Amino acid sequence: MMETLFTERLILRELMDSDAADLFAIRSSEEVNRYIERPAYQDISELENYIVTQKEKSEIGEWVILGIVLKQTSVLVGSICLFSFSEDRTSCELGYELHPSYQGRGLMVEAMETLLNYLSKSSTLQNLQAVINPENKASLLLAFKLGFKKGRQLDIVKAPYQCYYLGIHGQTQIESKIE
C-alpha cells in the first residue's frame, strides 16, 4: 500500500473499482497501446479482471499501481506502475500511461516528479528502469526530462525496446504535498 499523493492538479492514489470505465478508456485506446506489447482491451470485463489482479498483486507487494486523477473533475486520466522488484526491493521497473486527450499538458511530468520525490524520501528503492520503444518520442522525452539515461540492454528486452535507468536518490527534490 502506498500513500495518496497530491500535486497542484492531480491526485495519485490506488485504483478503485469505480475507476473501471476511465481505465477502460485508456487501455482500450490504440494510441496508448501503440508502443507497448499489450493489445488494446476489447471488453470492460478484461479491465475488471485487471483491477482484481492489481489489487491482489499490490497487497502482496508485487506491484504498486497509482491512478492519476484530475483534482477538479475526479476523472482517472492515467496510471503509474512499479513492478518487477528486485529481491532486495532496491530496484524495479516503471510503467506509465496517459489517456491521449490529456497528453501534452505536463500532467505525467507533474505526477512522476511527485512520485520520484516521494520515493526518494520514503523508499528503499534506489533505481528505476523504464523499457521504452524509441519510436515513442513522448515517452522518451518524459524519461529524459526526469533524468533517465540509456543503459545496459537486458537480454529479456527485445528490439526495438531500449532500457533506461534512473537513480532515485540523485533526483532533484520537487515540492509536493503528501497525505
The 8-class DSSP code of residue 158 comes to -
Considering the four listed CATH numbers 2.160.10.10, 3.40.47.10, 3.40.630.30, 3.30.160.40, the one that applies to the domain covering 5-178 is 3.40.630.30
- Answer whether the bond into residue 160 is a cis peptide, omega within 30°: yes
Structural contact between residues 108 and 95, judged by C-beta atoms closer than 8 angstroms: no
100-114 pLDDT, tens digit each = 999 999 999 999 999
Of the listed ranges 36-50, 132-146, 148-162, the least confidently predicted one is 148-162
- Report the distance separating Cα 104 and Cα 138, nearest Å: 9
| pLDDT of 172 above 70 | no
- Give the model's pLDDT for residue 152: 78
Greatest pairwise CA separation for the chain in angstroms: 43
Residue 6, φ and ψ in degrees, nearest 5: -125, 140
18-49 pLDDT, tens digit each = 999 999 999 999 999 999 888 899 999 888 88
pTM (2 decimals)?
0.90
Q: What Cα–Cα distance (Å) separates residue 171 from each residue in 49, 132, 154?
A: 35, 20, 24
- Rounded to the nearest integer, the mean pLDDT of the chain is 90
Residues 6 or more apart from 141 whose CB is under 8 A from it? none
The structural domains of the chain, with segments of one domain joined by +, span: 5-178
- Report the distance separating Cα 54 and Cα 45, nearest Å: 14
Question: How many DSSP H helices and E strands does the chain contain?
Answer: 5, 9
Would you tell me how many other CB atoms lie within 10 Å of the CB of residue 38? 11
| pLDDT of 78 above 80 | yes
- Answer whether the bond into residue 100 is a cis peptide, omega within 30°: no
Residues 6 or more apart from 179 whose CB is under 8 A from it? 3, 4, 5, 6
Residues 6 or more apart from 107 whose CB is under 8 A from it? 9, 10, 68, 77, 78, 98
